[in-house]
Amino acid sequence: MKRALAISCLVAACASHAPGGGGNVAPVPTKQAPPPVKSAPIVVALVVDQLAAWMAAERFPELPKTGGFARLLREGTYARDMRYAHAVTETSPGHAALFTGAAPYRSGIYANESIDERTGHRQSALRSARARTLESDGTDHATGITLDGLATDTVADVLREKMPHANIVALSLKDRGSVFAGGKHPDAAIWFEPRRDSFVTSTAFSPKYPAWARFMDDTALAGLRKEPWTLLDAQFVSSHAKQPDAQPGESEVFGFGSTFPHSFSTARFPAVAFRASPRGDDALFALAAAAIEARDISQPMMLGLSLSSYDYIGHFYGPDSWEAWDELLRLDRSLADFFALLDRKVGADGWSAVLSGDHGGPQLPEAPDAARPWCAKGEDSDFWQRTCRHAGRIFPDALRDSLEQAADKALGHGDWILGVASPYVFYTHSAAELPADRRKKLEDAVTKTLLAHPEIDRVYGPPTAPCAPETDESIDALACRSLWPANKDAVFIVEKKGSFVDTDYDLGRGMSHGGPYLFDRSVPLVVRAPGRVPAGAVITEPISFAAYTRALSALLGVSPPALCSEAREIVSR
Q: What is the pTM of this model?
A: 0.93
Question: What fold, for 393-453+456-495?
Answer: Gyrase A; domain 2 (3.30.1360)
Q: How confident is the model at residue 509 (pLDDT cuts 50, 70, 90)?
A: very high
d(CA 556, CA 469): 28
Determine the pLDDT at residue 37. Answer: 65
Residue 117, exposed/middle/buried by CB under 10 A (0-12, 13-18, 19+)? Answer: middle
Distances (CA, A) of 490 to 149, 349, 415: 16, 48, 15
Neighbours of 111 (CB within 10 A): 27
Give the model confidence (pLDDT) of 211-227 as tens digits: 999 999 999 999 999 99
Q: Considering the chain, what is the average pLDDT of its residues?
A: 92
Question: Looking at residues 19-26, what average pLDDT do you find?
Answer: 35
Look at 289 and 138; give whichever has higher pLDDT.
289
Would you say residue 105 has pLDDT above 60? yes
Q: How confident is the model at residue 121 (pLDDT cuts 50, 70, 90)?
A: confident
Determine the pLDDT at residue 33. Answer: 53
Helix axes 546-556, 155-162, angle to 10 degrees: 20
Look at 280 and 372; give whichever has higher pLDDT.
280
Would you say residue 482 has pLDDT above 50? yes
HEC string of 537-548? EEECCCEECHHH
Q: What residues does CATH 3.40.720.10 cover in the chain?
A: 39-114+123-369+518-528+547-556
Give the model confidence (pLDDT) of 34-68 as tens digits: 555 688 999 999 999 999 999 999 999 999 999 99
The two beta strands, 490-495 and 424-427, are antiparallel
Question: Looking at residues 125-147, what average pLDDT do you find?
Answer: 91
Give the model confidence (pLDDT) of 346-358 as tens digits: 999 999 999 999 9
39-114+123-369+518-528+547-556 belongs to which CATH class?
alpha beta
Separation of CA 572 from chain center: 27
Q: What residues does CATH 3.30.1360.150 cover in the chain?
A: 393-453+456-495
| Burial 482-500, CB ≥16 within 10 A → b, else e | bbbeeeeebbbbbbbbbbb
- Residue 60's closest CA among 378, 285, 316, 357? 357
Would you say residue 14 has pLDDT above 80? no
HEC string of 356-403? ECCCCCCCCCCCCHHHCHHHHHCHHHCCCCCCCCCCCEECHHHHHHHH
Would you say residue 16 has pLDDT above 60? no
Give the model confidence (pLDDT) of 297-343 as tens digits: 999 999 999 999 999 999 999 999 999 999 999 999 999 999 999 99
283, 225 Cβ separation under 8 angstroms = no
φ, ψ dihedrals at 77, nearest 5°: -110, 130
Determine the pLDDT at residue 32. Answer: 57
Determine the pLDDT at residue 10. Answer: 54
Determine the pLDDT at residue 35. Answer: 53
Give the model confidence (pLDDT) of 194-209 as tens digits: 999 999 999 999 999 9
Would you say residue 573 has pLDDT above 80? no
Look at 96 and 368; give whichever has higher pLDDT.
96
530, 349 Cβ separation under 8 angstroms = yes
Would you say residue 8 has pLDDT above 80? no
310, 331 Cβ separation under 8 angstroms = yes
Range with top average pLDDT, 2-16, 375-389, 456-470: 456-470
| Burial 304-326, CB ≥16 within 10 A → b, else e | bbbbbbbbbbbbbbbbbbbbbbb
3-state secondary structure of 428: coil
Give the model confidence (pLDDT) of 228-277 as tens digits: 999 999 999 999 998 899 899 999 999 999 999 999 999 999 999 999 99
Give the model confidence (pLDDT) of 64-85 as tens digits: 999 999 999 999 999 999 999 9
**Least confident window among 7-11, 508-512, 520-524:** 7-11
Look at 390 and 16; give whichever has higher pLDDT.
390
Give the model confidence (pLDDT) of 153-174 as tens digits: 999 999 999 999 999 999 999 9
